[in-house]
Structure 1
Amino acid sequence: MAFLDRIVTGAALCLLGTGIAQAQEVTLRIGHVETPQSTTHVMLEAMAEAVAAGTDGTLALQIFPQSQLGGQREMTEAVQFGALDATAGPVAFMGGFNPVASIMDIPFLYPADAEKAQAIRDAGFADAFCESFNELGVTCIGLYPNGTKQFTSNAPIARPEEFSGQTFRVMESMVLVEAFRSLGVTAVPIPFGELYTALQTGIVDGEENPLDTIYNMKFFEVQEHLTLSWHGAIENVILFNPAVWSGLEDNHRAAITAALDETIPEMIAHKAAAGEASLRKIREAGLTVHELSEDELAQFRAVMFPAGRDAYLERAGDKGRAIFEVYRAAYDKVMN
């Protein structure tokens, strides 16, 4: 309510004797769960600078990292009910809030090539995916990539058949459980904070995460093999409270969306650089690293993608099937 009061007050103010409204000065709070060093935080800070410049300082984005305003579920609900202006959140944490979001759990949803993956988003998939949130009391203004998962294990994992009989930690998702089952893997949802110990003690053989996470969380210390599979999409959405978003001036909304569009390529480059630096350090630590060829990637996709797709479509209902059709059309347009 305080935010809306500021809008109404700002709109009503006029320069005495001229009838010309003063420029609004608005500050929006955006929360996220990642660290100040994360790609998401770097991107949001860059967006804030661009927005301030593009609005002559009349609009400010105040960024709160590392769950300062609550966990992702709490922040999503706060945005929904108007206690928080916006959040930049991992789609992986939103399957309970929006079942359609679980499409991102399907392995090999995007190709390994980052430009082709972005072309699929830009071919209508990102817009349709964002729109699926808008019936849930939030306004999604953008989808952006935040890394790609790789496989690690204490046993060889260079070929699909080598996974059979292993146990892998996955996030709590039946799409992931069924996709890994297609490789003969027992997939176990384990809290992220317990993963290092689970790997160290052999409760699970392996896991999946982006390269910078594998390095920063020191999972490489308790793993022997890394396969560069580029199989799992880590995607984020930026969600605004609908009243806040619709209450902004047109030029303020335009400045935010333009800043997001301009920042995404920089964000992709930042995440890629972090991954490359992490991979160098992982190699130096002595892990056996296998880089999959295009044919090998196709072999993995042929096994895991159909299993993940079917598990998703079985649970996602009509809206999920509609989103999948948009995805398939975008994928075929880019890849065929």
Structure 2
Amino acid sequence: MKYSTIKTIAVLVLLVISISSCKDETGPKVLYLGHTLPQTHPVHKGILEFQKSLETKSNGTLKVKIFPDAQLGSEREVLELLQIGSVAATKVSAATLSNFVPEYHILGIPYLFKDKEHQFEVLEGEVGKSILEKGSKFWLRGLCYYDAGSRSFYTSNKAIRTPDDLKGLKIRVMNNQMAINMVNSMGGSATPLAYGELYTAIQQGVVDGAENNPPSFVSSNHYEISKYYTLDQHSSVPDVLLIGTKFWDKLSEQEKIWVQEAADESAQAQKKFWSDSVEESMKIAKEAGVEIIVPKKSLFAEKSKSVVEDFVKEFPEMKPLVNKIKSND
């Protein structure tokens, strides 16, 4: 039996259990949460904080059942399960979410944020909250953002010190137009590829490198075959904790307050988990002989300006929001 078939059966069984549990009005409401990350990941640790906080606040009347490691499918597949109401919640990259909710495209703009402090001032302020709310019309209500760090280039055989070094290099990117345009604008050849295929692709020379944050660079073991890591930090795309509106709308006003408070508390805890993970990951990479390069980021930012210009031409209604973020108003 194929894995995809087994996974489909598992989801159907989960749906039956979910429906059955909903009928038991005397028991707790169970929030099924699926995501694609391993249990060692700092984002999963943040989700565990959400689980603990929600169950404590509700005195056990709201429980969270977590399915990590892509047990319920890819990020896109789990989002679709939220939309039809068979799964209550998930964590996905804002890049994936942008295929469902256009406003999330903004968060993938290269060099959008000045630094980490600016990023979370925006995400936890009026602008960030407005973007979270935009998903409700697509049955995907945003609860909070999780830190997913900054993405940087890593390569196997050639160091990237300036954008010119990207010329002729095939760089794996997510299947996201913003990421594709960014790498191409810098002179590289953007190559969308499934993340699970990337280790072998680098090893066999199908691609010359990729771009990701330090914890992912190390947890994927890509540091074993990519000996140059260039901290250009071209994008800081956050993860988003979401709840399907089909589940949300069944909650009482008090239950909604508990869910939102638990999400906000988990986001603060997750920042520390992320910071610790970045520190440990960089240590592992250095000890393995990876050359850490700190380039002049302004050179990369200058090359990627056309991506922002093209974006606001395609989505002129989002230009005021982009300007507001960049001005830190």
- TM-score, normalised on structure 2? 0.86
In structure 2, the residue corresponding to 1:146 is in which secondary structure? coil
Which structure is larger by alpha-carbon Rg, 1 or 2?
Answer: 1
* Cα gap change, 1:200 to 1:8, in 2 (>3 Å): closer
Query: What displacement does 1:45 show?
Result: 1.1
Query: What displacement does 1:103 show?
Result: 2.7
Equivalent AA in structure 2 for residue 125 of structure 1 = V
Equivalent AA in structure 2 for residue 207 of structure 1 = A
Aligned counterpart for 1:233 among listed residues 227, 233, 236 = 236
| Contact 1:142 1:238 (C-alpha < 8 Å) held by counterparts | yes
Query: What displacement does 1:329 show?
Result: 0.8
Equivalent AA in structure 2 for residue 85 of structure 1 = A
| Contact 1:85 1:241 (C-alpha < 8 Å) held by counterparts | yes
In structure 2, the residue corresponding to 1:134 is in which secondary structure? helix
2:86 is matched with 83
In structure 2, the residue corresponding to 1:254 is in which secondary structure? helix
Identity %: 24
1:17 is matched with none
For structure 1, list consecutive stretches of 5 or more residues without a partner in the other structure.
Answer: 14-23
Query: What displacement does 1:328 show?
Result: 2.7
In structure 2, the residue corresponding to 1:51 is in which secondary structure? helix
In structure 2, the residue corresponding to 1:298 is in which secondary structure? helix
Write out aligned runs for 1:138-157 (5 A).
Answer: 138-153=140-155, 154-157=157-160
1:277 is matched with 280
1:20 is matched with none
Q: Which moved more, 1:83-92 or 1:27-36?
A: 83-92
* Cα gap change, 1:203 to 1:244, in 2 (>3 Å): closer
Query: What displacement does 1:220 show?
Result: 1.7
Name the CA distance, whole Å, in 1 between partners of 2:72 and 2:282: 32
Query: What displacement does 1:32 show?
Result: 1.0
| Contact 2:139 2:246 (C-alpha < 8 Å) held by counterparts | no
Name the CA distance, whole Å, in 1 between partners of 2:101 and 2:138: 8
Deviations 1:135-167 (A, max 9, x none): 112322223322321111221212223223322
2:66 is matched with 63
| Contact 1:125 1:327 (C-alpha < 8 Å) held by counterparts | no
Equivalent AA in structure 2 for residue 115 of structure 1 = E
Name the CA distance, whole Å, in 2 between partners of 1:214 and 1:29: 29
Aligned counterpart for 2:253 among listed residues 232, 250, 254 = 250
| Contact 2:144 2:267 (C-alpha < 8 Å) held by counterparts | no
Name the CA distance, whole Å, in 2 between partners of 1:333 and 1:276: 28
In structure 2, the residue corresponding to 1:223 is in which secondary structure? coil
1:18 is matched with none
1:127 is matched with 129
Q: CA RMSD in A?
A: 2.4
2:31 is matched with 28
| Contact 1:124 1:330 (C-alpha < 8 Å) held by counterparts | no
In structure 1, the residue corresponding to 2:69 is in which secondary structure? coil
Write out aligned runs for 1:195-214 (5 A).
Answer: 195-214=198-217
In structure 1, the residue corresponding to 2:73 is in which secondary structure? coil
Write out aligned runs for 1:142-221 (5 A).
Answer: 142-153=144-155, 154-221=157-224
Query: What displacement does 1:271 show?
Result: 1.3
Query: What displacement does 1:114 show?
Result: 2.1
The reply on whether 1:331 has 2:326 as its aligned counterpart is yes
1:301 is matched with 301
Name the CA distance, whole Å, in 2 between partners of 1:186 and 1:152: 14
The reply on whether 1:101 has 2:133 as its aligned counterpart is no
Name the CA distance, whole Å, in 2 between partners of 1:49 and 1:100: 31
Equivalent AA in structure 2 for residue 129 of structure 1 = I
Q: Which moved more, 1:93-102 or 1:190-199?
A: 93-102
Query: What displacement does 1:8 show?
Result: 8.3
In structure 2, the residue corresponding to 1:133 is in which secondary structure? helix
In structure 2, the residue corresponding to 1:141 is in which secondary structure? strand
Name the CA distance, whole Å, in 2 between partners of 1:63 and 1:203: 35
Deviations 1:58-105 (A, max 9, x none): 211111111222222221111111111122222222333233333333
Equivalent AA in structure 2 for residue 168 of structure 1 = I
Query: What displacement does 1:7 show?
Result: 6.9
* Cα gap change, 1:193 to 1:6, in 2 (>3 Å): closer
